[in-house]
Amino acid sequence: MLNTRADSDLAFLFKKIIYATSLQPINADVERKKVFNDKTYNPKLKYPKLNGNLITIKNNLEKIKTDGNIMGKLLDEKRKELLSMANSLLHIGSVSVTSYSKYIYGTPSKELVDTSYKLMNLEIGKEEERYATFTTMRKMIESLLFYGFQWKVKEKDMLAGARIDQINKVIYINKNRKFSDNDIKRLIVHEIGTHVARAENGRKQNYNLFFIGFPKYLETEEGLAAYNESNAGLLSNKIIKNYAGRVIAVDLALKNSFSYVYNTLLEYFDKDEALTLTLRTKRGLSDTAKPGAFTKDHLYLKGKLLVEDYVKKGGDISKLYVGKIGIEHVNLVPKIIKYE
């Protein structure tokens, strides 16, 4: 009974913690222009006022109890992860966001950073014709209808090219970007073929944890998305280099200012991409002159390499689609539910 109640309570509180949206700077466009005018400038980022009572959410998370079995341990780990998210939002703007981010997402290893620098030598092909957001949205909607997913597609001002809101069944597309035909196909594989599919499968399981995500599931989530892109022949050198740039940005940002990270990335990327990579990494901080990072971005390349290794060792990709689980959870799943 403890685990059933804990699972239900965690799902309820998960919906209250709008983590990704809360970490989106509301003055990014203004600060972006200042950086373009002065490469030594360190942005002063502002964030939206948070909805809901985070203190109450934190207190409720601290009260949740679980059994000592396999599922109980997973639920307790997820509880601690959500607690770190709540604490991060309570301290948004301060450098302490970094420590909570490190707990949730970890930090890149030296080996991963070294690999990323080697990928900076990849040759980038000629740019394809790019389409307005409307075309991208239309093709995403057509794909959702084809697979039978009852989701909506909306445009939004944000740092990412696209992201999903699994609670409200919405795929958001960056309103300020244009996408090539390859980009659109890749987004369909990444967002619908991976994120939406895993969320919908997870929604059907007997525990909400399969839907809200097992603890530390995200590196497998993003790694599987990147693996699927590659498997479909859609992962261009430009995207691989971008994933590697995210690793480098995180590694540098942990110890350096915004301007240092940005100017280092200018050695490998144009100013728009270098700035976006740096902004993504400095999310959560207000004074970006200080060292500190939102470390999530290193998981894309790390996860891709992990999924490739999983497949190389004979791992079954279909088992990763039972819900939002990590590779490390595959052998635990049969003890929790039975595969069809």
Q: What is the mean pLDDT of residues 170-175?
A: 93
**Strand 152-156 and strand 170-174: pairing?**
parallel
Burial grade of 51 (CB within 10 A; 0-12, 13-18, 19 or more): exposed
Each residue's pLDDT tens digit, 305-332: 999 999 999 999 999 999 999 999 999 9
Across the chain, mean pLDDT equals 93
Q: How many residues does the chain have?
A: 340
Q: Which two tokens stand for residue 80?
A: 């601690």
Residues 6+ apart with CB under 8 A from 64: 6, 9, 10, 75, 76, 79
Cα→Cα distances 6→73, 74, 77, 83, 244, Å: 11, 11, 12, 14, 38
Position 257 pLDDT exceeds 50: yes
User: Which pLDDT score is estimated for 21?
Assistant: 62
pTM greater than 0.85: yes
Rounded to whole angstroms, the Cα distance separating 176 from 225 reads: 23
pLDDT band for position 279 (cuts 50, 70, 90)? very high
26-54, pLDDT tens digit by residue?
A: 999 999 999 999 999 999 999 988 766 88
Which of the pair, 161 or 143, is modelled with greater confidence? 143
